Amino acid sequence: MDTKQILYSSDAAASFATGIEGWIDNKGRFFGDSEHMARYSGCTHINCAECGKPTVRYYRICRECQDKKSIERYNTKPRIKWNGKTPLYSEAHDEYFFDTESLLEYIDEHDCSIRSLRLIVCVANKFREIESDYFSDDMTDGYELPADLEDAIAALNDVIRQQPAASWSPGKYAADCDL
Ligand SMILES: [Zn+2]
């Protein structure tokens, strides 16, 4: 915060300008020749670049047009039949579903259609294995990892490989669900 004192009578408080002209926004900021910058600064809404309806100025296109584009994009995704087990992700609602029951419950609670959820089949994220160079920054150059440590890493990686999914992410396939 600027706490410097500026007295009413001081030249620092205001000055008389001559010979200037240009665009001024509704808060009194001067933008010179830039009508666009002044209008943008003073407005809250702009026209959607797609349909022309007023939309909050931070977005290029309105919510409706964004949704339309997301649906179009979803419809071009390759589709596979859902096996009823792999978790699903709803692109439209940003929700994950881990079984048919919770999916049906959600549809019921939100009174939406399964199509409107835009479901994606998830892919598993595995636990990362320990790479052989994991300790390389700790060791003197050219030295080998002690054999028992190497064996322990191999054993740990065996355990890691046997684990179920660590988490799930949306994959590239749209889900065809028969419920
Ligand atoms: Zn629009």
Quick check: is 157 in a domain? no
Quick check: is 93 in a domain? no
Q: Where are the beta strands (DSSP E) in 44-134?
A: 45-47, 54-56, 79-81, 88-90, 95-97, 119-125
pLDDT of residue 1: 58
pLDDT of residue 67: 93
pLDDT of residue 2: 62
Quick check: is 9 in a domain? no
Quick check: is 145 in a domain? no
**pTM (two decimals):** 0.68
**Ligand 1 centroid vs 71 CA: distance in angstroms?**
14
Quick check: is 87 in a domain? no
pLDDT of residue 132: 81
Cβ contacts of residue 177 below 8 Å, gap of 6+? Answer: 82, 88, 103, 114, 119
Residues with CB under 5 A from ligand 1 (ion): 48, 50-51, 62, 65
**Ligand 1 centroid vs 64 CA: distance in angstroms?**
6
Nearest residue to 22 via CA among 33, 14, 11: 33
**Residue-wise pLDDT tens for the chain (179 aa)?**
568 899 999 998 988 888 889 999 998 899 999 999 999 999 999 999 999 999 999 999 999 999 999 999 999 999 999 999 999 999 999 999 999 999 999 999 999 999 999 999 999 999 999 998 899 889 898 888 899 999 999 999 999 999 999 999 999 999 999 77
pLDDT of residue 142: 84
**Ligand 1 centroid vs 45 CA: distance in angstroms?**
12
174 close to 119: Cβ distance less than 8 angstroms? yes
What is the domain count for the chain?
Answer: 1
**Ligand 1 centroid vs 62 CA: distance in angstroms?**
4
Residue 26: which domain range? Answer: 20-75
**Ligand 1 centroid vs 126 CA: distance in angstroms?**
40
pLDDT of residue 68: 95
pLDDT of residue 169: 97
pLDDT of residue 179: 77
